[in-house]
Amino acid sequence: MTLAAQYATRIGRMKASEIRELLKLLDQPGLLSFAGGIPDPALFPAQAFADAFQAALSPEHQAQSLQYSVSEGYLPLRQWIAAHMAKIGVQCGPENILITSGSQQAIDYLGKLFLSPKDTALVGWPTYLGALAAFNAYEPRYDRLRSGENQPPERYAQAAEAAGGRVKFAYLSPDFANPTGVTMTHAERLQMLDLAETLDTAVIEDAAYQDLRFDGEPVPPMLALEQDRKGGDIEACRTIYCGTFSKTLSPGLRVGWVVAASPIIQQLVLMKQASDLHSPTINQIVTYQVAEQLFDTHVAELRSVYMRRRDAMLAALKEHMPAGVTWTKPEGGMFIWVTLPEGISGAQLLERALEQEKVAFVPGQAFHADGSGENTLRLSFSNSNEPAIAEGIARLGHVLKTAM
């Protein structure tokens, strides 16, 4: 019994993610994996969480921590986030913040909020696979956002209308993007804000990796740049900022947040009520306690560890990649994006790499809304130590040389 004939049309666009399928194969002994873009579990602040959970479960606090709570999210956590946002140039109050179950839920809600079938979402080629997966359920059409390109904005609007809808938002990850590791310059961010203004669309700023800058100059979030342009008035901003504790404290607790003009937050709160009422109360409480206690020092440690891993991967790529292969040089985050010579398939290379050299990565095609990018792949350096990176990239270089 499948009942497949009764499924809604939106289900037709929901496919198993290549990454999830692949992660099933990663348990083999001796396999070196640069596939999952996940934090190193050895770096979780586990003791601080243990203490915070114990306190939250004590007789004085359990009535609150195990109880239902408001859909907007735990107020002290929203206040902490407001202070955190102020440090990166965004002035907002708790009324501008919704706590979500990871930023993935925020991305899904924003798809639900804006997209009717046939509407257009502007995304990069490539872009975060999880955003495409979330948006797909709302049956949009995608158009390609090109940073730094001067194409007339009307072209986007006309193409969207021809497809039977309107451009509803641009989805971007301006800092150390997944999958490319690339950061948008100040000028590119302003240009993107101009485009959104002309098209009268929202901007979804996915800031998942923003805290993980290793070197170079920080660029203000798009929301900060827009707020600045609008005389400091967050209520006038069309940028919707999605933050998360997944890459800094713990992804397993599923605590993320959205910052936006309050009418947008109020609409998202209604969605949250209808979907899961609120994010787990106790997870929000312990996240607040741990963030308050050690966020800055912990993030400083993550940066220094991940920076060494990035450096090790860049050095190994330089040493082992055959001529004709290029890659990005990220200033933070977890990813390096590799482009192979035309005609070499990332997916086929993965098969060989797993079989012959026991090394894994994610082929790049899945990150492209149009199915292009066959000759690309994503490497993650966050969850491997330096010797494993050196060994794994040497193995990858070996498979590539035989493939070429």
Which class for 186: exposed (0-12), middle (13-18), buried (19 or more C-beta within 10 A)?
exposed
Cβ nearer to ligand PMP, comparing 165 with 333: 333
Residue 251 sits in the site that holds ligand PMP (CB under 6 A): yes
> What are the C-alpha distances in Å from 223 to residues 57, 89, 193, 239, 338?
37, 8, 9, 5, 30
> What are the C-alpha distances in Å from 112 to residues 212, 308, 324?
29, 39, 42
Do 362 and 130 contact (CB within 8 A), yes or no?
A: no
Hey, which residues between 121 and 140 contact ligand PMP (CB under 6 A)? 128, 130
Task: Give the binding range for ligand PMP (CB under 6 A) out of 5-13, 99-107, 374-382, 386-394.
Answer: 99-107
Please give the residue whose beta carbon sits closest to ligand PMP in the complex.
102
Cβ nearer to ligand PMP, comparing 103 with 384: 103
Report the nearest approach of ligand PMP to the CB of residue 21 (Å).
Answer: 16
Residue 328 sits in the site that holds ligand PMP (CB under 6 A): no
Report the nearest approach of ligand PMP to the CB of residue 246 (Å).
Answer: 3
Within 10 A of 165 (CB to CB), how many other CB atoms are there? Answer: 18
Residue 250 sits in the site that holds ligand PMP (CB under 6 A): no
Task: Give the binding range for ligand PMP (CB under 6 A) out of 57-65, 243-251, 307-315, 379-387.
Answer: 243-251
String marking each residue 160-179 x if it binds ligand PMP according to CB under 6 A: -------------x----x-
Which class for 98: exposed (0-12), middle (13-18), buried (19 or more C-beta within 10 A)?
buried
| Residue 169 to residue 127: CA distance in whole angstroms | 14
Residue 208 sits in the site that holds ligand PMP (CB under 6 A): yes
- Of 33, 96, 104, 376, the one binding ligand PMP by CB under 6 A: 104
> What are the C-alpha distances in Å from 361 to residues 4, 35, 88, 217, 389?
33, 4, 33, 29, 12
Residue 102 sits in the site that holds ligand PMP (CB under 6 A): yes
Task: Give the binding range for ligand PMP (CB under 6 A) out of 45-53, 101-109, 154-162, 339-347.
Answer: 101-109
| Residue 166 to residue 2: CA distance in whole angstroms | 35
| Residue 33 to residue 30: CA distance in whole angstroms | 9
Task: Give the binding range for ligand PMP (CB under 6 A) out of 64-72, 77-85, 244-252, 273-281.
Answer: 244-252
Residue 103 sits in the site that holds ligand PMP (CB under 6 A): yes
For 397, the enclosing helix (H) or strand (E) is helix 386-403
Structure tokens at 334: 């977890």
Of 392, 206, 238, which is closest to residue 316 (Cα–Cα)?
392
Q: How many residues bind ligand PMP (CB under 6 A)?
A: 14
Residue 256 sits in the site that holds ligand PMP (CB under 6 A): yes
Task: Classify strands 239-244 and 202-206 as parallel, antiparallel or unpaired.
Answer: parallel
Cβ nearer to ligand PMP, comparing 213 with 320: 213
| Residue 108 to residue 119: CA distance in whole angstroms | 15
String marking each residue 43-72 x if it binds ligand PMP according to CB under 6 A: ------------------------------
Q: Which residues bind ligand PMP (CB under 6 A)?
A: 37, 102-104, 128, 130, 173, 178, 206, 208, 244, 246, 251, 256
